[in-house]
């Protein structure tokens, strides 16, 4: 008989050491200890209302649970691998502390609805923290945008210089991605905010539990409607990990831009020394390791997302032990995403744009589109104007000149429609400010975008 297991009654041999090691989850799911106890406190109340526990019994259980919680928080709790998971560790300790009555806590509850409830409670807390971190990052980006309205930089497509933009436009572009991430996490939160508790192992329970009462005590806004699904569903982990994944993709793209911009060749930004690292062999190096690791960790979080998706695929209804594999990818992604959000916020706050370097690079050939548009305004079809200015670009390149150095006579060689006012266009900030459309890079448009951003980040 395997008396030391909570489920040992029907067994005649004690568990193989290997199985104990292979199946345990307490080494990682102890992360759920606090929410597990919170859940048990609510379940105790529900059991009391259902007439399963007397007032005294409920009091004894609650006191026991709270003393365990205290020890866990203080790091004094002794976790036992042979008790498999966080749930059974806490239950066994409760019985040790308060005696047989502790054994009543698990009435009308299975670890299947218990773990599903814990995990949803845990993710609700984590999402709230992630939303705060996203907000702090958005604020840092908005702040930098506000400081860089008057800096003009080249915008890129294909990583080739394209058209001048205001640097604020670039900061606000990334901010926009994090706005979407915020909405996505809020949406995941809304959908997972429902209580599985009272679903039992799969079929519901044969005690008169008021599931709505427990849900309310636990702060859930809804109760899951189908007990099979309530214990079998892990969609919320897939959605959550995908939200983490997409946010990491955004962080990774931003990291990549900054890594390039911090290179000597670009020299667009200075990264704060305290956020960079050196080389053990090359005294000259200042490396953007935090950014590189954020970029790298995006791969890792995608892995977490793929892992959980493949664990779920093909599981028969309802709970299967495979679902224990949902924890580590989620814990890993939570830790990785939170760290990356903090790291990126610090980088953005400490970032110093190098205005001269950016502006020196913003002009020249990036001014070409506007010269073509100038001719279009004089009635030349755009295709022809494109061709005329194309030859002009060839001329400038051949002579090793910059567009800004062109004289009116030179312009006229390509089209006599060019007038004095065309020379006005040969300035990056002028070119940027002509793009006044909604969402465009003109100063007046940027100021509106900034105004909105500031309102949203409060
Ligand atoms: N540690 C398990 C998990 O994380 C708890 C549920 C176990 N249920 C069971 N019937 N073995 O999924």
Which of 324, 326, 331 is the pocket-test mutation for ligand 1 (most atoms within 8 Å of CB)?
A: 324
State the chain's maximal CA–CA distance in angstroms.
Answer: 101
| Residue 231 alpha carbon to ligand 1 centre in Å | 10
Same domain? For 94 and 136 the reply is no
> Which one of the listed residues 54, 263, 279, 391 is annotated catalytic?
279
At residue 246, the pLDDT reads 98
- Which CATH number covers residue 338? 1.20.200.10
Same domain? For 66 and 116 the reply is no
Of 54, 86, 107, the last residue of a domain is 107
The answer to whether 221 and 194 are in contact (CB under 8 A) is yes
Residue 158 annotated among the catalytic residues of the structure = yes
Nearest to 138 by CA among 352, 291, 349, 351: 349
Q: Nearest C-alpha to atom 7 of ligand 1 is from which residue?
A: 111
pLDDT in tens, 254-276: 999 999 999 999 999 999 999 99
Same domain? For 237 and 368 the reply is no
C-alpha count within 13 angstroms, C-beta hemisphere, residue 32: 32
> Which one of the listed residues 25, 158, 250, 386 is annotated catalytic?
158
Ligand 1 environment, Cβ below 6 A? 25, 29, 85, 111-112, 115, 321, 323-324
Q: Nearest C-alpha to atom 12 of ligand 1 is from which residue?
A: 324
What are 164's strand-pairing partners?
154
- Which CATH number covers residue 417? 1.10.40.30
pLDDT in tens, 53-75: 999 999 999 999 999 999 999 99
CA of 111, closest atom in ligand 1: 6
Long-range contacts of 70-79 (CB under 8 A, 24+ apart): 72/30, 72/33, 72/34, 72/37, 73/34, 77/33, 79/26, 79/27, 79/30
Same domain? For 147 and 228 the reply is yes
Same domain? For 143 and 266 the reply is yes
Same domain? For 129 and 32 the reply is no
Same domain? For 7 and 117 the reply is no
| Residue 121 alpha carbon to ligand 1 centre in Å | 16
| Residue 78 alpha carbon to ligand 1 centre in Å | 20
Same domain? For 181 and 234 the reply is yes
The answer to whether 440 and 163 are in contact (CB under 8 A) is no
At residue 1, the pLDDT reads 45
pLDDT in tens, 440-451: 999 999 999 999
| Residue 113 alpha carbon to ligand 1 centre in Å | 9
Four-residue CA torsion sign, 335, 338, 340, 346: negative
Residue 106 annotated among the catalytic residues of the structure = no
Same domain? For 11 and 99 the reply is yes
Domain count, the chain: 3
pLDDT in tens, 381-421: 999 999 999 999 999 999 999 999 999 999 999 999 999 99
Domain that holds residue 89: 2-107
- Which CATH number covers residue 71? 1.10.275.10
Query: Residues, the chain, total?
Result: 458
The mean of the pLDDT values for the chain is 96
Residue 171: pLDDT band with limits 50, 70, 90: very high
Of 336, 360, 384, the last residue of a domain is 360
Same domain? For 342 and 290 the reply is yes
Residue 284's contacts (CB-CB under 8 Å, 6 or more residues apart) are none
| Residue 70 alpha carbon to ligand 1 centre in Å | 24
Same domain? For 334 and 196 the reply is yes
Q: Nearest C-alpha to atom 2 of ligand 1 is from which residue?
A: 324
Residue 132's contacts (CB-CB under 8 Å, 6 or more residues apart) are none
Q: Nearest C-alpha to atom 3 of ligand 1 is from which residue?
A: 324
Residue 280: pLDDT band with limits 50, 70, 90: confident
Same domain? For 142 and 242 the reply is yes
Of 360, 393, 426, the last residue of a domain is 360
At residue 27, the pLDDT reads 98
């Amino acid at each position: 008989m395997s008396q030391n297991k909570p489920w040992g009654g029907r067994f005649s041999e004690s568990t193989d050491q290997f199985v104990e090691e292979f199946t345990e989850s307490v080494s990682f799911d102890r992360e759920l200890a606090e929410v597990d106890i919170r859940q048990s406190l609510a379940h105790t109340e529900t059991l009391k209302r259902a007439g399963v526990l007397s007032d005294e019994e409920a009091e004894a259980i609650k006191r026991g649970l709270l003393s365990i919680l205290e020890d866990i928080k203080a790091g004094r709790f002794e976790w036992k691998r042979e008790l498999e998971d966080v749930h059974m560790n806490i239950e066994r300790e409760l019985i040790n502390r308060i005696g047989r009555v502790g054994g009543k806590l698990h009435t009308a509850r299975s670890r299947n609805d218990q773990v599903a409830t814990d995990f949803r409670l845990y993710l609700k807390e984590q999402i709230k923290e992630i939303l705060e971190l996203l907000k702090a990052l958005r604020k840092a980006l908005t702040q930098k945008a506000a400081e860089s309205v008057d800096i003009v930089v080249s915008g890129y497509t294909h990583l080739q210089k394209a058209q001048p933009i205001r640097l604020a436009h670039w900061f606000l572009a990334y901010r926009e991605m994090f706005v979407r991430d915020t909405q996505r996490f809020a949406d995941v939160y809304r959908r997972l905010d429902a209580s599985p508790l009272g679903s039992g192992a799969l079929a519901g329970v044969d005690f008169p539990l008021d599931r709505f009462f427990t849900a309310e005590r636990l702060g859930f806004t809804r109760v899951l409607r189908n007990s099979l699904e309530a214990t079998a569903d892990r969609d919320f982990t897939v959605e959550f990990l995908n939200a983490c994944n997409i946010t990491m993709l955004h962080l990774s793209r931003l990291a990549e831009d900054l890594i390039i911009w911090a290179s000597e060749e670009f020299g667009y930004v200075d990264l704060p020394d305290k956020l960079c690292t050196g080389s053990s062999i090359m005294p000259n190096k200042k490396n953007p390791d935090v950014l590189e690791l954020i970029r790298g960790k995006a791969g890792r979080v995608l892995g977490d997302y793929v892992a959980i998706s493949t664990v779920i695929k093909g599981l028969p209804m309802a709970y299967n032990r495979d679902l224990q594999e949902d924890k580590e990818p989620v814990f890993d992604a939570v830790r990785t995403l939170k760290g990356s959000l903090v790291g990126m916020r610090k980088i953005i706050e400490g970032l110093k744009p190098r205005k001269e370097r950016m502006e020196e690079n913003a002009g020249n050939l990036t001014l070409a589109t506007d010269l073509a548009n100038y001719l279009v305004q004089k009635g030349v079809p755009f295709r022809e104007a494109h061709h005329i200015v194309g030859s002009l670009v060839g001329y400038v390149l051949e002579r090793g000149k910059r567009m800004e150095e062109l004289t009116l006579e030179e312009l006229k060689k390509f089209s006599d429609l060019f007038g004095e006012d065309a020379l006005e266009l040969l300035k990056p900030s002028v070119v940027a400010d002509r793009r006044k459309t909604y969402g465009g890079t003109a100063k007046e448009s940027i100021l509106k975008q900034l105004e909105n951003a500031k309102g949203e980040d409060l």
